[in-house]
Amino acid sequence: MARKTTNSSGTKTGAGKTGAAKTGAAKTRASKEPARPARPRPAAASLTEQAYEAIKEKVITLYFLPGQYLNEQAICELLNLGRTPVHQALQRLQVEGLVDIVPRKGVIIQPDSIGQIIEILDARLVVETEIARKAAEKAEAPDVEALQAILDHHSSGQHGGGAIDAFVECDRAFHVKISEMSRNHVLGDFAKVLHERSTRSWYLHLWQTLDTTASDRQHRGVLAAIRARDGEAAAGAMREHLMSLRERVAHLQQTAPRRGLGHGH
């Protein structure tokens, strides 16, 4: 216990020292708090997200081919990322159906048959018609103008790549924006996964059905309904857009065995 002494002013210095020690300890604790590592989890999450987006883009654009076997180390070297974010990204992509992780063998890029594409489009018909309805109900003027700008940008030819790349760029941006406008994150997350599976199908099979004129007209029909704040009309226009694509894909499915589609011909 600290010995208490009295100085010339009559104060007890021992108690003062004890109080000062407590104050100093409090200050020391306070000064230490900002020195803690600055939220390492978001940094790790950011690397995982970076790996996820990079691998997904390579799958969608056929840099990684359907049926191709890969190993995690090769992907790490390609992306210049560590094993943990790459592994976590692959697990997420497996849930989304783009890859399959095979123990002791590696990673296989999942193929999408024409039948699977039709199933994806059937799911999109359910999800995206509701998203279009909500987008029309909740749209604000800047949203509508941004949607218009996406279509005008494509029509003006101010994009890179060939016809498929230009179409995919516009189509992805258009549908993503409508999902944002719906202000429903749950539906938007469903739509994103489904639409990205559809995007890969343009490179696999659907390039044979590409009709940019019809797609632009249908997109603008959806836009007009959203601009008018007509939810039912927006849902109907989106349904027409997706049904048109589904019918073309169904026609491919019927003719595929005879024409050898899906085997590189």
Residues 138 and 236 in one domain: yes
pLDDT at 44: 58
Residues 128 and 203 in one domain: yes
pLDDT band, residue 113 (cuts 50/70/90): confident
18 lies in some domain: no
Which of these three, 109, 125, 140, is where a domain ends? 109
Residues 255 and 132 in one domain: yes
Q: Is the pLDDT of residue 133 over 50?
A: yes
Q: How many distinct structural domains can be found in the chain?
A: 2
User: Considering only 12-26, 57-71, 165-179, which range has the smallest mean pLDDT?
Assistant: 12-26
Average pLDDT over residues 2-22: 47
74 lies in some domain: yes
User: Considering only 29-38, 104-113, 193-202, which range has the smallest mean pLDDT?
Assistant: 29-38
Kindly give, in sequence order, each residue whose CB lies less than 8 Å from that of residue 76, ignoring residues fewer than 6 positions away. Answer: 82, 83, 86
Q: Find the radius of gyration of the CA atoms of the chain.
A: 28
pLDDT at 226: 98
Query: What rounded mean pLDDT belongs to the chain?
Result: 82
% residues pLDDT > 70 (the chain) = 77
Residues 89 and 156 in one domain: no
32 lies in some domain: no
pLDDT at 209: 75
Residues 202 and 75 in one domain: no
Residues 136 and 255 in one domain: yes
CB 169 within 8 A of CB 229: no
pLDDT band, residue 45 (cuts 50/70/90): low
Structural domain containing residue 121:
114-259
Which of these three, 109, 140, 158, is where a domain ends? 109
Average pLDDT over residues 150-166: 72
% residues pLDDT > 90 (the chain) = 55
Q: Tell me how crowded residue 244 is: count the other CB atoms within 10 A of its CB.
A: 16
65 lies in some domain: yes
Q: Is the pLDDT of residue 145 over 80?
A: yes
Of the candidates 222, 212, 247, the one whose C-alpha atom is nearest the C-alpha of residue 131 is: 222
Kindly give, in sequence order, each residue whose CB lies less than 8 Å from that of residue 86, ignoring residues fewer than 6 positions away. Answer: 51, 55, 72, 75, 76, 79
217 lies in some domain: yes
Q: Whole-prediction pTM value?
A: 0.69
CATH code where residue 119 lies: 1.20.120.530
Residues 88 and 140 in one domain: no
Average pLDDT over residues 206-234: 92
Which of these three, 82, 109, 136, is where a domain ends? 109
* Range picked from 64-78, 201-215, 223-237, 251-265 for highest mean pLDDT: 223-237
Q: How many residues does the chain have?
A: 265
Q: What is the DSSP string of 16-79?
A: HHHHHHHHHHHHHHHHHGGGS---HHHHHHHHHHHHHHHHHHHHHTTSSPTT-EE-HHHHHHHH
Average pLDDT over residues 243-248: 92
